[in-house]
Amino acid sequence: MTLLSRSIRSMLSANFEHCVANPKFDPLPLVRLFNPVGRAVWLITELYADDDTLFGLADLGFGSPELGISSLREIEAIRLPMGLTVERDIAFSTRHRLSVWTEAARLAGSIPDAALLLDRLTREDPNAIRLLPR
């Protein structure tokens, strides 16, 4: 199974190259991977040159989302109940940078709860997003 198309791989690789050249670059998450029968979610911003190592915000559903690396091959190899696998959210898009997602997820305790928080903040007051600590 392939979670990432060539075009998505290309964009993630470009983010990786940009981050190498500019360590202060704060990319937008480009991909949301999720467990369709659980709470695990990954927001991916980069694909390393080895074409396997992903960087982004990972939340395995235990209340402690964290920035780090994951293996694309390992995520693709996960087998879930009823023959399901980890999926890519084809409708995912965001205007929030990785740093904002990270702080919101830490405050809310999960990426799904951070999505609700960010949606509410930006709906009620678009400038409220600046209130999140960084």
What's the total number of domains in the chain? 1
Q: Does some domain include residue 111?
A: no
Q: Does some domain include residue 119?
A: no
CB count, 10 Å around CB of 21?
8
Query: What was the pLDDT predicted at 130?
Result: 61
Work out the angle at residue 105's Cα, subtended by the Cα atoms of residues 27 and 4, and round it to the nearest 5 degrees: 50
Q: Does some domain include residue 108?
A: no
Query: What was the pLDDT predicted at 57?
Result: 98
Q: What is the DSSP letter of 106?
A: H
Q: Which domain holds residue 65?
A: 6-96
**pLDDT greater than 70 at residue 131:** no
Q: Does some domain include residue 120?
A: no
Strand 66-71: give its sheet, edge to edge: 66-71, 53-59, 41-47, 31-34, 87-88
Q: Does some domain include residue 123?
A: no
Q: Does some domain include residue 125?
A: no
Q: Cα–Cα distance between 87 and 9 in angstroms, integer?
A: 16
pTM for the predicted model, two decimal places: 0.90
